[in-house]
């Protein structure tokens, strides 16, 4: 084999490896699915948006890859407690706080003047004491066994109060929070605190600490959070 051919093959190998590394590094967090496959999540602002993808769930959703009963749960939880005394409110481990714990997370509330005296949303610091959560069904599964979801978590105007009572909440975006994504091979029961993977389903849970520079946040959203996987809950 000539030296030129060896160099060309090596260069092609490095290009292929480089592309693979770039793709893996782009994922905020990935863990193996307990039911087989892989579960990954990216978080964006506006308010909090979880983009999730599951690989290798053809065995969960059947050969037809349709009418899958599996669901993905996304939730944003607090790291602060009133008085600093609740151990469930922390940013150090993978124990995601239930809503009953009353943990809060800091962020920015964007409020607008409904009278039209201001054309721009005004950002103000606010701590949200609530858990935002939602579950999305796993629908169209590709032939390779992969599926994607987008879950947007939005705080209501009863949970976030503008400093000026005459102004209207446009959106609230967290600056630091505990991010949870959870895959269940069956539907989630959101009436329980915390939600329960029903009908004997197999669950996989990823909890991360996500944060962003407050100066990067705008009402339109779309900025990426920096997320770090937290140690597994005990």
**What does pLDDT average to over the chain?**
84
Confidence grade of residue 13 (pLDDT, cut at 50, 70, 90): very low
Q: Tell me the two tokens of residue 77.
A: 């939880």
Domain presence at residue 133: yes
For residue 7, being part of any structural domain is answered with no
For tokens 């935002």, the residue is 132
| Residue 176, in any domain of the structure | yes
For residue 139, what is the DSSP state?
-
| Exposure string for 180-197, b = 16+ CB within 10 A, e = fewer | bbbbbbbbbeeeeebbbb
Which residue in 100, 95, 91, 92 sits closest to 177, CA to CA? Answer: 91
Per the domain annotation, does 186 fall within a domain? yes
The pLDDT of 82-86, averaged and rounded, is: 82
Residue 193 has pLDDT above 70, yes or no: yes
**Residues 121 and 113: beta-carbon distance below 8 Å:** no
The continuous run of DSSP H or E covering 184 comes out as strand 176-184
Q: What is the pLDDT of residue 119?
A: 57
Confidence of residue 66 (pLDDT cuts 50, 70, 90): low
Three-state DSSP class for 26?
helix
Which pLDDT does position 116 carry in this prediction?
Answer: 62
Judged by DSSP in three states, 214 sits in helix
Q: Does residue 143 belong to any structural domain of this protein?
A: yes
| 60 within some domain | yes
- Mean pLDDT along residues 96-111: 95
145 touches 198 (CB < 8 A): no
Written as six digits, the tokens of 59 are 């065995």
The Cα–Cα gap between 213 and 94 comes to: 22
In-domain check, residue 22: no
> Is 18 contained in some domain?
no
Q: What pLDDT, on a 0 to 100 scale, did the predictor assign at position 118? A: 55
- Per-residue pLDDT of 116-144, as tens digits, reads 655 577 899 999 999 999 999 986 888 88
DSSP for 77-111, written as a single string = E--B-GGG--TTS-SSSS-PPPGGG--BEEEEEEE
Q: Mean of the pLDDT values across residues 181-197? A: 96
**What pLDDT score was predicted for residue 117?**
57
* Beta carbons within 10 angstroms of residue 15's beta carbon: 10
Counted domains in the chain: 1
- Quote the domain boundaries for residue 134: 29-229
């Amino acid at each position: 084999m000539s030296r030129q051919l060896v160099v060309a093959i090596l260069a092609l190998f490095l290009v292929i490896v480089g592309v693979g590394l770039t793709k893996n590094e782009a994922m905020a967090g990935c863990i193996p699915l307990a039911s087989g496959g892989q579960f990954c999540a990216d978080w964006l602002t506006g308010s909090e948006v979880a983009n999730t993808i599951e690989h290798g769930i053809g065995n969960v959703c059947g050969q037809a890859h349709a009418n899958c009963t599996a669901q993905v749960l996304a939730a944003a939880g607090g790291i602060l407690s009133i008085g600093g005394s609740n151990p469930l409110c922390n940013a150090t481990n993978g124990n995601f706080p239930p809503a009953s714990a009353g943990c809060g997370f800091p962020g920015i509330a964007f409020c607008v003047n409904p009278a039209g005296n201001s054309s721009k949303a005004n950002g103000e610091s606010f701590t949200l004491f609530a858990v935002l959560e939602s579950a999305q069904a796993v629908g169209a599964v590709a032939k390779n066994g992969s599926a994607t979801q987008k879950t947007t978590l939005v705080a209501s105007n009863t949970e976030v109060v503008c400093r000026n009572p005459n102004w209207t909440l446009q959106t609230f975006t967290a600056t630091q929070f505990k991010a949870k994504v959870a895959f269940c091979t069956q539907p989630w029961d959101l009436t329980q605190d915390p939600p329960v993977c029903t009908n004997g389903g197999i669950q996989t849970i990823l909890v991360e600490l996500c944060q962003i520079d407050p100066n990067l946040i705008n009402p339109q959203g779309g900025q990426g959070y920096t997320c770090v996987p937290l140690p597994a809950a005990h």
